[in-house]
Amino acid sequence: MFHIPRWKPTAIASSVALSVLALSAAATSQAIAAGKTITAVMHSDLRVLDPGLTTAYITRDHGYMVYDTLVATDANFKIQPQMADWKVSGDKLTYTFTLRDGLKWHDGAPVTAEDCVASLKRWGKNDGMGQKLMDFTASIEAPDAKTIVLKLKEPYGLVLESLGKPSSLVPFMMPKRLAETPAGKAIAEQVGSGPFKFVQAEFQPGVKAIYVKNADYVPRKEPASWTAGGKVVKVDRVEWVTMPDAQTAVNALQSGDIDFMENPSFDLLPVLEANKDIKIEILNKFGFQTLGRMNFTLPPFDNVKVRRAAFLAMSQKPVLDALVGNPKYYKICGAIFICDTPLATDVGSETLVKGNGMAEAKKLLAESGYDGTPIVVMAPGDVVTLKAQPIVAAQLLREAGFKVDVQATDWQTVVTRRASQKPVKEGGWNMFFTNWVGADVANPVVNVSISGRGTKGGWFGWAEDAKVEQLRDAFARAGSLEEQKKIAADLQKHAYEQAIYIPLGQYFAASAWSKSLSGVLDGPATPVFWNIEKK
C-alpha cells in the first residue's frame, strides 16, 4: 500500500440532546463509583455492529474497541505483529503466522488458528482489498491451534498490507462460529479479543453505546503507534453518547458533561479554540476524500452518458465551501488516489477542479435520452461532515437538467439503504455521498470505490467494469513505482470517463477534547480509546 503524508439548534434537537445527557449522566454516575469513564460524542450514532458488514467508520471504530487484528500498521507505515508474528518462504508463496500467547475471546475461550482462518475467509469475501488478495490465494489453513498458513498461487506484494490495513473493512478476528456467518448477514454476538468489551445490555441505538475494559486483554509490549503496538486501556469505561445537534455537543464539551468530541462542525471550531481547557487537533493527518457515488444497476445511471453528465456537472469548490468553509481545512484535488502521494495525477479532473463542465454536462444529458425521472439522492442530516454534499450536488444536477428528489434521512439509514439493489420505489436509491480516510483510497487495490466487480462483491453502486479490474490486477503485479504510477494514471483516466465515482476534494477534520484527557493517539483510523488517561 502506498502511504500518504450549519445547522442552528432547534428546540426539538436540543430537547433530545438534553434527554441523552440526562441518560448519560445517570449511567456515568454509576460508573464513576467503580472507576474512570470517558464520555464521547462520535461523528455518528452506532447502529450496525458487524464490522465485516459495512465500511461505515462508526462501525469500524466499534470494531477497534471490541476486536483485534493479526498484524497492524504503525506510524512509520510499517506492518507490525499484533495478534501474530509471521515468516515468508523464500519463493514468496507461503506466509506462516503464529498466534502469540495470552489471546482469549471475551467469552473466555482461547483464540485458535481455526477462528482466524474463518475470519480471514469472511473478510476476503466482503472487503475489496481482501477480495483481491483472495484472487491470488491458493489456500488458507490451520495446521494446528496456533498456526495459520496462507499459500499464494503466485507472488503478491500486498499480503501483509492487506492483512494490516487500518481502515474499512478491517480484517478483524472473531470466533469461528461468528466468522462462519454468511456474507451479507450480521453476526449474532459482539465477541472479540480486543481491549474493550461491548456491553450489549446497555446498548441503545441512537442514544448510547457502552464499552468496558477487557481485564483479560494482554497488550503487546511495544508502545502504541497508530493501530499497532500495545493497546493499553487506562480507563474503566467508555460511553459513546449520541447528540445530533452540534451546538449542544459543543456546549456539553465546554461544561464537562462529555470529554471528547470527534468532529465539531467547522463553524464552531473558533468557539472551542477560545476555551483554554479544550484541546483541538487533527488526528488523521492525511485527511478525508469526500465523494459522490451513483447506482449503476438502476436507470438512469446505468447509462454512461447520464453518469458522465452528472460527473461533468460536479465542482469541488462549492462542495468544499459548503462542507468546510475555511480553506485552511480543505484542498481542491482531482487525484483519485489522493494529492501529494506517489500516485497523484490530475488526468481527467479538469472539470472537477475548475468547475467548468456545466455546458458540456447539459449537452450530454440532452443527448443521453434521460427521461426526466427524478434522481433519488440520500441526504443524511445528522453527520456534520455529510450534510452539505447532497444539497450542493442536487443544485448542480438541477442546473444540468436533472430532476432531483433529495430524501432527508440519518446516516445510519443511508448505511443500511445503500446496500439495497431494489428499484427506487421499493427502497432503492440513485446517489449518495460519503467520505473515505486517505488510507482507504491511496492506491487502486485498497480503494474499493474504484472496484469494477459489479454485483459480485463490488462496493455499493456496483460498478461493473472489466478494464478497471484488469488495471487493478496489473497494479498488484507491478514491479516498480514508475510502472505503478502509469497504471494508476491509466485507471484514473478510464474511471473518470466512465464516472465510476466522483471525488469532490480533500478535507481535514479536527477533534476536540477536555484537557483532563491525555494520551490521545493520532492515526489513519481514529479515534481509538486505548492509551488515553483521564485525570
The SS3 call for residue 474 is: helix
Mention every residue, 6+ apart, whose C-beta is less than 8 A from residue 214. Answer: 106, 194, 195, 196, 197, 233
Contact (Cβ atoms closer than 8 angstroms) between residue 161 and residue 171: no
Q: How deeply is 185 buried, as exposed, middle or buried, from its count of CB atoms within 10 A (0-12, 13-18, 19+)?
A: exposed
User: Which 8-state DSSP code applies to residue 303?
Assistant: S
Instruction: Give the global pTM.
Output: 0.83
SS3 label, residue 301: coil
Give me 364's grid cell. Answer: 450530454
Q: How far is CA 410 from CA 9, 415, 485, 511, in A?
A: 16, 9, 38, 21
Three-state secondary structure of 129-160: HHHHHHHHEEEEEEEECCEEEEEECCCCCCHH
Radius of gyration for the alpha carbons in the chain, expressed in angstroms and rounded: 23
Assigned CATH for 11-282+511-535: 3.40.190.10
State the Cα–Cα distance between residues 406 and 501, nearest whole angstrom.
19
Q: Where do the structural domains in the chain lie, given as residue ranges?
A: 11-282+511-535, 288-507
Classify residue 223 by its DSSP letter: P
Residues 71, 59: Cα–Cα separation, whole Å: 20
Q: Which residues does 402 contact at the CB level (< 8 Å), separation at least 6?
A: 309, 310, 313, 365, 370, 375
The per-residue pLDDT string of the chain (535 residues; one tens digit each, 9 = 90 and over) reads 333 332 233 333 344 344 444 444 444 444 443 479 999 999 999 999 999 998 889 999 999 999 999 999 999 889 999 999 999 999 999 999 999 999 999 999 999 999 999 999 999 999 989 999 999 999 999 999 999 999 999 999 899 999 999 998 999 999 999 999 987 899 999 999 999 999 999 999 999 999 999 999 999 999 999 999 999 999 999 999 999 889 999 999 999 999 999 999 899 999 999 999 999 999 998 899 999 999 999 999 999 999 999 999 999 999 999 999 999 999 999 999 999 888 999 999 999 999 999 999 999 999 999 999 999 999 999 888 899 999 999 999 999 999 999 999 999 899 999 999 999 999 999 999 999 999 899 999 999 999 999 998 899 999 999 999 999 999 988 878 899 999 999 999 999 999 999 999 999 999 999 999 999 999 999 899 999 999 9
CATH class of 288-507: alpha beta
Dist CA 530 CA 403 (whole Å): 48
What DSSP state is assigned to residue 439? G
